[in-house]
Amino acid sequence: MSRPSVSSRSRDRGAFSTVHAHRGLMGLSYRRLVIVGMLAMITGLGQAAILILLVRAATALTADTQVISGSIGPLSAGNLTVAQLIALGFVVLAILAVAEIASSWAQATLQTTSQRTAQTRMLARYSNASFEAQIHLPRGENQEVVFRHTAQTGAVANALGMGLTSAVNFITLVGSALVLSPAAGLVVMAGLCFMLLALRPLVMLSRRISRSRTKASRRLGAAATERLELSREVKAYGVENQVDEKVRDQIHAVERLTHRMRFLGRLTSAGYRVGTYAMTLGMLAVINAIDASNLAALTGSLLMLLRALSYGQAAQSTYQQVSELAPVLEQLAEEEARFVRSAEAGGGTRPPSGITDIVLRDVWFEYGADEPVLHGIDLDIGRGDFLALVGPSGAGKSTLMSILLRLRTPSSGTVTVDGLPLGDIDRGWWLQRVAYVAQDPKLESGTVADAIRFHRNEISDDDIRQAARRAHIADEIEAWPLGYDTPVGQLGEGVSGGQRQRLALARALAGRPDVLLLDEPTSAVDPTSEQLIGETLDELRGEVTVVAIAHRFHTVESANRVVLMRDGQIVPNVGDDLETLSEFMSGGLPQSST
């Protein structure tokens, strides 16, 4: 029997059960909740005491007497003067103020701690997950999950704290009112139970709509990100309205679901308000029907119950909010579980002595069932080789590169390094010895030195300068007014495409790698940069093992080995025939060549 997903199991839980199940993701501390509850009890008792004191003092002043005898609620008042009663009220008020300040601090801590814990935890899970698990989330959705949805855990914790405070205040005030007037208190309790049962279907429907809205928001995030990143192309082709239609559809979908969710939320609150008025009338009916000899006690009880009902409405509203946000927790937990599973699958703890040869035997890869991308790849890469991968788009070159980077795992077959399976090798060690330069590389915002070092603290300033010289970018850097302190801009947009490519090459070389993987380093650069990158590759020949996806014949000429790929397979007996390769790269090989 297949195991149900996190989300499918969570749908059967109530809102608070969902929060309890995912409390670790939120960093929810029950100790903090207990503190919030205890402070709420103190504030509730303080409010009850203030109300009793006010009623007793007002009754005494109305009766034109300065001495109060009898009792104040359940406590004996002795013979207190009105002045003493007022002074006692100020003492209670001071205690209440301190408790309110402490309660506000505790609730704020509950919210901020939960948000910080969820964001740092999901960021760590995402970072440790496999590349396949990361790209499972479309661009835009990954931001929604890792940052925006995790921010909403703070809203869940805040609602939980406010709901707990409201519930404890409600219970405390109702309990105090029951002591003063048991009949009126029972009316409130019975009415409240009836209202909660009557409103529950609305709360459950709102939660189902909230789950759909959460998914729609993720789709909107992905569509919006794609739209913004296509701004140049959209403007160049003049298709703004057509492209915006897709985003508008997602906006309307979120709007419709949000409207339904807000309508149900307000309808639930309105139902509670109507019920509150009904219970107030019921309490007045009780007071009218019973012996009203102790008018102060009945009046105090009425005031407490009215105050309690406002807290009851606040508790119901926060429960509604938690119910609406519970689907966010469910989806976060599902994504976290997927990230963790992918990280566990990428083990490997053995560091080899070095990288002498890399051998692929009968390597297959499938993105999905019956969708093979690589078909039985056999390839030997020796130390110091410069291997050029050539082939049409969709031939499997990038997938093969991803396998060598350990971003993807073969569906079958073996990849060994000096006889050791690649999957058994410590991933951190492998990535220190293998460097990669993308076809369209990105640089992190900061200075040139920061971009080359890229958070690798072991790389010294001398290493950075040496790498820049090897990438033939040092002269240009040193000619800039700020030199290595020159900002590169967001994603490296402050430098030209050719400079960005060579800075990325310097970033790769700064770690002194044994293997350098290149995704066509010269396909999108100016002729000068192409020539300088070619010189770098010529200088690396025999010193560093280089595997490059090649679209320019100049890169093929620099290689000592060439592999032609088509339809996920290596085309035999072509790699050493430069004339045939030249024909292919200028116009393509005929189908019969495969």
**pLDDT values of the chain reduced to their tens digit, one per residue, 594 residues:** 334 444 444 444 567 788 888 888 888 888 888 999 999 999 888 888 888 877 777 777 666 555 555 554 454 455 677 777 788 888 888 998 899 899 889 888 888 888 888 888 888 888 888 777 777 777 667 777 777 777 788 888 888 888 888 889 888 888 887 777 676 667 767 777 777 677 778 877 877 887 788 788 878 877 877 777 777 667 666 777 887 888 888 888 888 888 887 788 778 777 776 776 777 677 667 666 665 555 666 677 777 777 777 787 788 778 778 887 888 888 888 888 888 887 755 566 777 777 888 999 999 998 776 778 898 999 999 998 898 888 888 888 989 988 898 888 888 999 999 888 888 888 888 888 899 988 888 888 889 999 898 888 899 999 999 999 999 999 999 999 999 999 988 878 888 888 888 899 999 999 899 999 988 877 667 788 888 888 888 888 888 999 988 876 666 777 888 888 888 888 886 655 555 555 555 544 444 333
> Interior CA angle at 227 toward 223 and 232, to 5°?
165
Structure tokens that stand for 581 in this block: 């390769």
CB atoms within 10 A of CB 418: 14
Q: Identify the structural domains of the chain with CATH numbers, from first to last.
A: 16-340 (1.20.1560.10), 357-593 (3.40.50.300)
| pLDDT given for residue 463 in this prediction | 93
- Beta strand spans in 276-371 (E): 357-366
CA–CA dist 406, 404 (Å, integer): 5
CA–CA dist 436, 425 (Å, integer): 18
| pLDDT given for residue 579 in this prediction | 57
Contact 203, 268 (CB under 8 A): yes
Residue 59 neighbours by CB under 8 Å, 6+ apart: 295, 296, 299
Structure tokens that stand for 116 in this block: 């910080």
- Listing DSSP states for 47-105 in one string gives HHHHHHHHHHHHHHHHTT-SEE-SEETTEE--SEEHHHHHHHHHHHHHHHHHHHHHHHH
Contact 140, 226 (CB under 8 A): yes
- Listing DSSP states for 156-206 in one string gives HHHHHHHHHHHHHHHHHHHHHHHHH-HHHHHHHHHHHHHHHHHHHHHHHHH
Q: What is the DSSP letter of 582?
A: H
| pLDDT given for residue 63 in this prediction | 61
CA–CA dist 448, 457 (Å, integer): 15
| pLDDT given for residue 515 in this prediction | 92
